[in-house]
Amino acid sequence: MGPRLNEQTSTKSEADQSELAIGLLKNFTFITFQALLDVAGPIQTRELCRKYFKNHGEAGALNMQKWLGAPSDIPGTFLMGKLALLWQRRDFLKMVHPDMIYWQNTSCLYEHAPPEFCQLFENVTTPAANKVICPDYEYVCDMMVTQGDRVCSGRVSVKPGNPYYGHLDQLPELEMPKISKEEIDFWTIQVLGEEWVMCTKAVLDHDDPGHVLDLLFRRMKEYGHTMSPILATKFGVEGNDAMAIGRLFDSINAIFQQFGPLISSNPQMIEKEVNECPFRNATKEMCMQFEAFGNGICEAINPEFEIVHTEAMCAGDGTCRRIIRRKALTVSKGKRSDDVPNKTSSMTEADLLIALKMRLAKGEITSQEYDRLRERLISS
């Protein structure tokens, strides 16, 4: 998700866009993780997430090592650790002794994370990364702000037999390459996006994923409702029709590097195709979370409007089709799946087909029912 601006966001600096993307992705990740935690409890949540956090550390270490060209030894390990501190936004202090390096920080990207998230990151992700780079490196985190401590702190040592055992105070400092803020922001966004995907996969591994997803979608919608006035102010968007909501969503899409052509536009409905998206190969529940977030925004701006995705790349379609429109069809509990409004209603045939496809996407009807109802609608 490299930096890119379009006409909707050109009034904002690239740095502002990156910080906003970082803030939203971070909260998406925490909301997803917390929903799983509230349903599964801390023990099961840690087990469901463990393999993803482990793979995250291993893959991250290999990527950083390749990018920096760092050697697989203790100095190389510390060089990559310094890079990790940059994208984690850590205010870092360290004290070096012959046998141990003590560290602490008072600010961090994850300072408002659920405590269990930090435990997984520090006890699974970081050790997995260190093992890939240099198995002689031992890392222990013994204090965490998210667990009520004043600071996060820990210690680093090396195993007997390593050349630096008992001589860590003589550790050479490898020169950190010049890294721009844009590069740091890019890596932060990449990592947070991956962690959101990881937490979503862990949700789907739960014995009752539907229970977790119901809670997750409600919370994502609530978060969208809360963020709506903030985002509208940040992007200078006024009004409450489809055109205004569409302008706001164009700006939101842009900060997540989601781009594509506008299909149609009027005060009642905006239709847009998205053919570039960093989550195109992710699970479809990612798009469903984003849709819930979007509907929270719509509800806050004008409860008569909704956002639907009638096509989604993460569901196997060639592109995403995003529609912001007046609510066309509400399926009430207990309503039969073959209850379809006829063409004498105020909705057009196109409206009804869109609503019918939305019901299919949400799993309210089967593909066979969709084909049958679509045929009935067209022939009526």
- 157 and 216 housed in the same domain: no
**DSSP assignment string, 12-40:** S-HHHHHHHHHHHHHHHHHHHHHHHHHHH
Q: Which one of 148, 183, 218 terminates a domain?
A: 183
Q: Which one of 135, 151, 183 terminates a domain?
A: 183
- Please give the mean pLDDT across all residues of the chain: 85
- 159 and 234 housed in the same domain: no
**In whole angstroms, what is the distance from residue 185 CA to residue 44 CA?**
32
- 130 and 273 housed in the same domain: no
Residue ranges of alpha helices (H) inside the chain are 14-68, 74-87, 115-120, 126-133, 181-204, 209-235, 242-255, 284-301, 349-361, 367-379
**In whole angstroms, what is the distance from residue 243 CA to residue 269 CA?**
8
- 32 and 111 housed in the same domain: yes
Terminal Cα distance for the chain, rounded: 46
Beta bridge partner(s), residue 96: 101
CB contact set of 193 (below 8 Å; sequence gap of 6+): 1, 25, 278, 279
12 has pLDDT over 70 = no
Q: What is the pLDDT of residues 85-128, one digit of tens each?
A: 888 888 778 889 999 999 888 788 998 999 999 999 999 999 99
- 41 and 124 housed in the same domain: yes
Domain count, the chain: 2
- Residue 25 near residue 189 (C-beta atoms within 8 A): yes
Q: Is residue 29 situated within a structural domain?
A: yes
Closest CA to 294 of 319, 258, 267, 263: 258
Amino acid sitting at position 114:
P
Q: Is residue 310 situated within a structural domain?
A: yes
- 71 and 138 housed in the same domain: yes
Q: Is residue 359 situated within a structural domain?
A: yes
11 has pLDDT over 80 = no
- 216 and 148 housed in the same domain: no
- 211 and 179 housed in the same domain: no
- Residue 149, SS3? coil
Q: What is the pLDDT of residues 292-336, one digit of tens each?
A: 999 999 999 999 999 999 899 988 899 999 999 988 543 333 333
The pTM assigned to this predicted structure is: 0.81
Structure letter (DSSP) for residue 125: I
Q: Is residue 7 situated within a structural domain?
A: no
218 has pLDDT over 60 = yes
CB contact set of 62 (below 8 Å; sequence gap of 6+): 132
- Residue 138, SS3? strand
Q: Which one of 150, 183, 216 terminates a domain?
A: 183
Closest CA to 89 of 68, 66, 105, 65: 105
Q: Is residue 179 situated within a structural domain?
A: yes
Residue 20: which domain range? 14-183
Q: Is residue 97 situated within a structural domain?
A: yes
Phi-psi region of 69 (alpha: psi -120 to 50; beta: other; left: phi over 0): left
Closest CA to 131 of 77, 189, 176: 77
Beta bridge partner(s), residue 219: none
29 has pLDDT over 90 = yes
Q: Is residue 142 situated within a structural domain?
A: yes
- 27 and 160 housed in the same domain: yes
- 122 and 218 housed in the same domain: no
- Residue 243 near residue 267 (C-beta atoms within 8 A): yes
231 has pLDDT over 90 = yes
- Residue 104 near residue 164 (C-beta atoms within 8 A): no
The pLDDT of residue 243:
94
pLDDT cut 90: percent of the chain above it: 55
56-73: string of b/e by CB count within 10 Å (b at 16+)? bbbebbeebbeebebeeb
**How buried is residue 326: exposed, middle or buried, by Cβ count under 10 Å (0-12/13-18/19+)?**
middle
Q: Is residue 6 situated within a structural domain?
A: no
Instruction: Please report, for the domain that includes residue 28, its CATH number.
Output: 3.30.1380
More confident of the two residues 147 and 117: 117
Closest CA to 46 of 122, 130, 107: 122
The pLDDT of residue 98:
94
More confident of the two residues 341 and 37: 37
- 364 and 256 housed in the same domain: yes
**In whole angstroms, what is the distance from residue 315 CA to residue 259 CA?**
18
- 179 and 213 housed in the same domain: no
**In whole angstroms, what is the distance from residue 187 CA to residue 54 CA?**
18
- Residue 15 near residue 204 (C-beta atoms within 8 A): no
The pLDDT of residue 105:
86
Phi-psi region of 89 (alpha: psi -120 to 50; beta: other; left: phi over 0): left
- Residue 158 near residue 136 (C-beta atoms within 8 A): yes
